[in-house]
Amino acid sequence: MHKTSALTLLASTSLIPSTLAAYTLVESYDPTNFFSKFHFWDKKDPTNGFVQYKPLRSAAESGLIAIDTKSGTVPAIYIGVDHSTKDPAGRASVRISSKKSYNHGLFIFDIEHSPGGICGTWPAFWMLSDGGKWPEGGEIDIFEGANDDRHNKMTLHTTPGCTIQKMSGFSGKVDTPNCDVNAQGQGKNTGCGIKHPVVKTQETFGQGMNKGGGGVWVTSWTSSQISVYHFHRAQVPTDINNGKPDPSKWGMPVAKFAEGCAIDKYFKNLNIIFNIAFCGDWAGGAWTQSKGCSAKAPTCQQYVQNNPQVFKDAYWMIRSVKVYQEDAGNQKQMQKMKMVGRGIQNWLSKRWQDFTEVGTENVDQAWEQGPETLEKRGFGDCKPSFLPFDYWNCR
């Protein structure tokens, strides 16, 4: 007879719900509708950047935004910056925020070209709560870097109480573990960050990434975790291209924020944001830390103001942003299976405890020791079963 230990069954039952998730497309931001689904920020930059964010009409008239049908293999959304003037008030740019906010979902960003890797720039696409005082409601930075960075950094910003406790299950490297923007021992507003693993032949930020045709970034946000996946253009999974994303087939994420943070408490009503900032708290503050950038000018602001031509390639080319959510039927089924799974695990854990107390290595060995051993624990009529929810058939 084939026997399975209780520990094996405990492990298998914990995996039951993971195979049930299926996703439905609920929103597509693409060249047919992109700018109509975003608000344009035209206020002062909250991160103290040397930048002037332009409203929709001004951005369109000055060529900062467009639908590009000629440059790439497919139509794409162009979002760029001024690269011809020396305005002492700051370089003209764009910051947009989705009109719709979200709670949970699978967010797929198909990016053909990014503005990163240029001294003075601070580009990002991210998600931010639409209400309350920052960082209430949370912030998820999916793609972000400054100056001549070559690899992406993913970060969460929260109020106190959210941390990265588990340092495994993702391929990136934890840079800072505390998501609280005022955490002691971390720089102000730093949050908890995970850096993309450094692979010299595959840059994830800047011009090296752009030369490969960009790629796809995916953020999975549920009640139990926030994960980020990244695929270079030639490695994008077929299920994503076919509109049937299946994270269970993608392997390990680049970043995963799970244990140590009550996700639903800290993240709610998030909008999708794209922007290209200059200098400011990060790019300006880190200017002297880059030998390549600081050699070009004494300060970030001086360089950005006096060298407009270097920012010609500081632009986004976005193929699409697609938002998927789990099917309602699958959500209910997963909730049921999780309840069943917890019941199974609790039941098996109790049996495991009972039998280890009589000095046996596992429940199979306990059974093999004979009726007299089982009688001591009150399980004289128990027999092994193949089914995890009926592992021991007892009286």
What is the Cα–Cα distance from 71 to 215, expressed in whole angstroms? 16
Catalytic residues: 139, 144
What is the Cα–Cα distance from 391 to 386, expressed in whole angstroms? 6
Q: Is 355 helix (H, G, I), strand (E, B) or coil?
A: helix
- Closest by CA to 314, choosing from 350, 369, 285, 277, is 277
Quote the DSSP letter at residue 178.
B
Element (H or E) spanning 320, and its range?
A: strand 316-326
Quote the DSSP letter at residue 282.
I
Residue 25, both tokens: 């497309």
- Closest by CA to 4, choosing from 364, 371, 375, is 364
CA end-to-end span of the chain, whole Å? 21
Residue 32, both tokens: 């047919």
CA of residue 266 relative to chain centroid, distance: 15
Strands 153-157, 76-79: parallel, antiparallel or unpaired by DSSP? unpaired
Residue 238, both tokens: 């077929």
367, 390, 394 from 380: Cα distances, Å: 9, 16, 8
